[in-house]
Amino acid sequence: MNLAKYIDHTLLKPEATMTQVDQIIAEAKTYQFASVCLNPYWVKRASEALQDSDVKVVTVIGFPLGATTTATKVFEAQAAIENGADELDMVINVGELKAGHDEQVLSDIQAVVKAGHAAQKHVKVIIETCLLSDVEKRRACELSEKAGADFVKTSTGFSTGGATVSDVTLMRSVVGDRLGVKASGGIHSKEDAEAMIAAGANRLGASAGVKIMNSK
């Protein structure tokens, strides 16, 4: 198994410096990870550095809380695409999901998907599993699929927990083979990565990509 092709090599810390961003980009080239995942500010730099590489540029939308307006998320998505983003990982409005306001959640996702797909970019939907019941996780996955998203994703990594095998299994059971599943948050070892893939993840968001690749 080529683990590198599963990994979105991630650096989303607010204190990340240009030097650290450049290191992540260089590591992604060296190990041929699926992508680098960076905050929107760094997208243009990453896109320019990776233009002759197969490594994609992923960024986050409405991050990390998901509680910005839909118009703000769409503007952020379009700006990221203009700067060279290949994939957009958006955060749902968790509060509206928990309140049962499914139409608002659906329209929020649809708007970002529309912006992404207009430019032929993939959109992943972060549902923040640690804040949801299993019933809510299922609804979030169903709404993401209905909205036309390409992936569902477990976590931002900035809330009360990250990816779990049970959540990845549940999400895969809902979306089948129709959508991708990205496990993100708390993946620190080769064993963690392999367990998530076995549970149904076909992308992994991890800041420990180099450590994972160098594990025996």
Paired with 11 in beta bridges are 38
The answer to whether 86 is a known catalytic residue is: no
The secondary element (H helix, E strand) that includes residue 185 is: none
For the chain, the C-alpha Rg in angstroms (whole number) is 16
Other residues' Cβ atoms within 10 Å of the Cβ of residue 200:
19
Contacts of 195 (CB under 8 A, 6+ apart): 165
The answer to whether 167 is a known catalytic residue is: no
The answer to whether 153 is a known catalytic residue is: yes
Q: Are 70 and 107 in contact (CB under 8 A)?
A: yes
By DSSP bridging, strand 35-38 and strand 56-61 are parallel
Catalytic residue among 56, 124, 137, 153: 153
The number of residues making up the chain comes to 216
Catalytic residue among 86, 89, 108, 167: 89
> What residues are annotated to the active site?
89, 153, 182
